[in-house]
């Protein structure tokens, strides 16, 4: 008989503008694992989902406390993590090709019965959507990698980005700062774009070779600590090959298109409800393309964690206790743009 567990997760209550714990009973399925949560990253998707009343958090890290009778990929005691996606059909063309995030039956964070959230004591997930964390990656660093890190890694892979190419990152925040870290570790020349010139020093410390503002993109600052002949050439003369848009909304593309190399790839990684406006001829004539990319495939999620371990990629984080006060403080900093750059909730002993 499947064991039943009481799972408690934190949810936002609009009526009193506070975060409250809510418990529910869940059976452990034969192919599922019970995870005792220790950490969770805070993503801006949590802000979008806050008013739904669901269990929040989808960058969870913890240790497996129990496994179902048919689990083969994990064992009790393993340190694992999970991200946004928790279910797909497993049989459609997208699933069979490894891109289960595009399955028509895909379900993830804040979806129906799968809304447990990572801000809580325990979580139950299908073993196929849980990932082993390499020993050299701390749990604090691993949290933001489970959604933000996997998202930018997938986008760079989908674009076919090569180490010899130039990558542009629009928005130096929770997602964008990880895009800079990954692109630099891949050997690319990186141009960071921000709406605020005050992000320049952070961008350079992250390893960006160049910095531009989205309001005056023709003005470029060069990072004196990372200049090489190759990076100057690819960053200024040949143009940007891959442009990742990691800001909270897509900025005007018109002033950015002249900075791109011919046949560049633009990948929007933001969530917005308004239409995407594309200047037609400046986009068509150079042969640019816009590619949709969301959650990582399982293969790329695993590859991302291995890459982060080999290259010692450590997201910039601020830690908060996983309680009502900690959640309020973390959400306040995230929603006001004060977070540098990813919040991590830590479960109290």
Q: Which residues have C-beta within 8 Å of that of residue 38, sequence separation ≥ 6?
A: 61, 62, 63, 139, 346, 347
Q: Looking at domain 160-290, which CATH architecture does it have? A: 3-Layer(aba) Sandwich (3.40)
Q: Average pLDDT for consecutive 10-residue bins of the chain (349 residues)?
A: 89 91 93 98 93 91 98 97 95 96 92 74 96 98 98 98 96 97 96 96 96 96 74 62 96 96 97 93 98 96 98 98 97 96 93
**The model's pTM:** 0.94
pLDDT value of residue 235: 45
Q: Which residues have C-beta within 8 Å of that of residue 327, sequence separation ≥ 6?
A: 10, 19, 56, 119, 320, 345
- 246, two tokens: 């990691």
* Pairing relationship of beta strands 85-87 and 107-108 according to DSSP bridges: antiparallel
User: What is d(CA 243, CA 46) in angstroms, rounded to the nearest whole number?
Assistant: 25
Q: Is the dihedral of CA 64, 127, 139, 84 positive or negative?
A: negative
Listed in order, the ranges of the chain carrying CATH 3.90.180.10 are 4-146+297-346
Task: Count Cβ atoms below 10 Å from residue 41 Cβ, excluding itself.
Answer: 30
Listed in order, the ranges of the chain carrying CATH 3.40.50.720 are 160-290
Quote the percentage of the chain above a pLDDT of 70. Answer: 95
pLDDT value of residue 8: 93
CATH class of 4-146+297-346: alpha beta
Average pLDDT of the chain?
93
């Amino acid at each position: 008989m499947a064991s039943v567990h009481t799972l408690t997760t934190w949810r936002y209550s609009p009526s009193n503008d506070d975060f409250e714990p809510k418990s529910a009973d869940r059976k452990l399925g034969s192919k599922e694992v019970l995870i005792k949560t220790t950490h969770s990253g805070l993503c801006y998707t949590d802000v979008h989902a806050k008013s739904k009343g669901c269990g929040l958090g989808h960058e969870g890290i913890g240790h497996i406390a129990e496994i179902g009778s048919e689990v083969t990929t994990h064992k009790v005691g393993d340190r694992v993590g999970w991200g946004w996606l928790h279910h797909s059909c497993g049989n459609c063309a997208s699933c069979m090709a490894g891109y289960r995030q595009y399955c028509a039956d895909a379900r993830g964070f804040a979806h129906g019965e799968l809304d447990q959230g990572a801000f809580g004591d325990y979580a139950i997930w299908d073993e196929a959507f849980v990932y082993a964390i390499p020993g050299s990656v701390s749990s604090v660093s691993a949290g933001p990698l489970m959604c933000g890190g996997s998202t930018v890694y997938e986008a760079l892979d989908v674009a076919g980005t090569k180490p010899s190419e130039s990558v542009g990152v629009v928005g130096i925040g929770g997602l964008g700062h990880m895009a800079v870290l990954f692109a630099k570790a891949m050997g690319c020349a990186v141009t960071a774009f921000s709406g605020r010139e005050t992000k320049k020093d952070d961008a350079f410390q992250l390893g960006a070779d160049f910095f531009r503002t989205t309001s005056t993109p023709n003005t470029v600052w060069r990072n004196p600590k990372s200049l090489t002949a190759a990076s100057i050439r690819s960053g200024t003369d040949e143009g940007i090959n891959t442009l990742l848009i990691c800001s909270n909304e897509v900025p005007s593309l018109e002033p950015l298109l002249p900075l791109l190399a011919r046949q560049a790839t633009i990948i929007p990684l933001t969530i917005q409800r308004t239409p995407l406006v594309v200047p037609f001829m400046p986009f068509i004539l150079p042969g640019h393309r816009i590619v949709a990319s969301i959650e990582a495939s399982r293969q790329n999620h695993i590859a991302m964690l291995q890459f982060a371990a080999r290259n010692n990629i450590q997201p910039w984080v601020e830690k908060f206790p996983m309680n009502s006060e900690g959640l309020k403080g973390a959400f306040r900093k995230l929603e006001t743009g004060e977070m540098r750059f990813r919040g991590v909730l830590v479960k109290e002993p």
